[in-house]
Amino acid sequence: MTPGTKNVTLGWGASPLEVTVPEHANILRSPGLSSKSEISSLIKAALDKPIGAQPLSILLRQPSRICVLIPDSTRKDLGAELLDYLLPHLAGHEVEVGVATGKHPPEHPKGDQWQHNARSTDLVTVGHTSFGTEVAYPPRVIEADLRICLGEIRPHYFAGYAGGAKTLFPGVAGEAGIWHNHTLKASAGARLGQVDDNPCRRDMEEAAQLAGPSFIINVVRAADGSISEIVAGDPIQAHRAGTQRARPYFEVEVQQHFNSVLISDRTPVTMNLYQACKLLPPAGRILREGGTIILAAECTEGIGPVSTINEAIYRLGSVHSLPKKHRVILVSRHTPSDVAPTFADYAPDIGSALAMVDSSSLAVIPYGGDLVPHINPVEAR
């Protein structure tokens, strides 16, 4: 190691990436809280004492059709983690498990699970939200007596925090409604860490209510990825309570803005540029006017479609969370010609990217998807 430097492990992608940064760099991490409880005891406690809803055992006293919705591969595999604990509680009922892909690319469901297709011609329109969003769902979702939505409460760049109604809408919604909801992410209030007075989240929750009675089971993870807490119950009330529990896991105070911010995360956040754009808002919160974000994302699954990423993700969803004058440098596994059409500049590696920026004031966020930074005190940019 060169004198005046130190080593840092970045999330990067499928495997971590060891890099060298200046010794004075500020390394920002989530607080790293954890719980020693087993998943079985956590989920039993959550189901026995749900928030804003009756216990699941009471809701299921009559034989019924249950639609269980789980996130797709752009999220951690909650199905594998929770279904074995949940399904015994549903014994005696007709149960279907669906993969909530939203408008993400198709994938291969496990076993007899079905996969949502936002462009399917059999989606049924159930109404519109007060924001004018058309809401359509698959027949098997709206014909169920109860929808049980698995999700994870973690920072989200425009819904404030993920989880809650998101597994249902946009998880199994029609494409037109999803796109309309996502235009709201440019609105004031649709910001990282903000769930109240957030038009995107309010729209999602209104849309979810149009599907019929639903029950959420949401997890909060510790810094090592293990499930630390579980909340269950009403999609809004339980989510708000879960968000309050989640904040100490993810939110940190930072004393200054920085000229440059190096940010990364593990897959699935860095599986492609579409997902990795979610790392720009947390970096933008601590970036000085005119500063540079070095986005370190392996992007094993590509950096396209470029037009969608440039317009719908970067300009519509991220720019308002960045200083007016800023620069983004992408370090990935891709070539200069691949990166050229994107909103970012190219660098072949972290060392080269650091040589392109003012690193006299540098923050490094190795796992940016787990962080909501707050400047205290707020200084002028």
pLDDT at 105 over 80: no
Statement to judge: residues 75 and 100 lie in one domain: yes
Task: Give pLDDT, residue 302.
Answer: 95
**139 & 196 share domain:** yes
Instruction: Report the mean per-residue pLDDT for the chain.
Output: 93
Backbone dihedral region for residue 369 (phi beyond 0: left; psi -120 to 50: alpha; all else: beta): alpha
Task: Please state, in angstroms and rounded to a whole number, the distance separating the CA atoms of residues 373 and 363.
Answer: 11
Specify whether 305 is located in the same domain as 341: yes
Q: Which residues contact 115 (CB under 8 A, 6 or more apart)?
A: 72, 98, 99, 101, 106, 107, 108, 109
In this structure, the answer to whether residues 233 and 342 fall within a common structural domain is no
Residues 50 and 181 in one domain: yes
The CATH number of the domain holding residue 24 is 3.90.226.30
Each residue of 106-152: pLDDT tens digit? 777 778 899 999 999 999 999 999 999 999 999 999 999 999 999 99
SS3 of residue 358 by DSSP: coil
In a domain, 202, yes or no: yes
Residue 265 has phi, psi (to 5 degrees) of -170, 165
Q: Give dist(CA 103, CA 171) in Å, integer.
A: 8
Specify whether 203 is located in the same domain as 231. yes
Point out the domain boundary residue: 250, 272, 295: 250
What is the domain extent for residue 316? 5-29+255-375
Domain boundary among 250, 271, 293: 250
289 within a domain of the structure (yes/no): yes
15 and 43, same structural domain? no
Q: Is 12 left (phi over 0), alpha (psi -120 to 50) or beta?
A: left
Amino acid identity for residue 38 in this structure: E
- Can you give the pTM of this predicted structure? 0.92
Which residue, of 235, 250, 265, is where some domain finishes?
250
DSSP H helices, 33-77, are: 39-48, 56-59
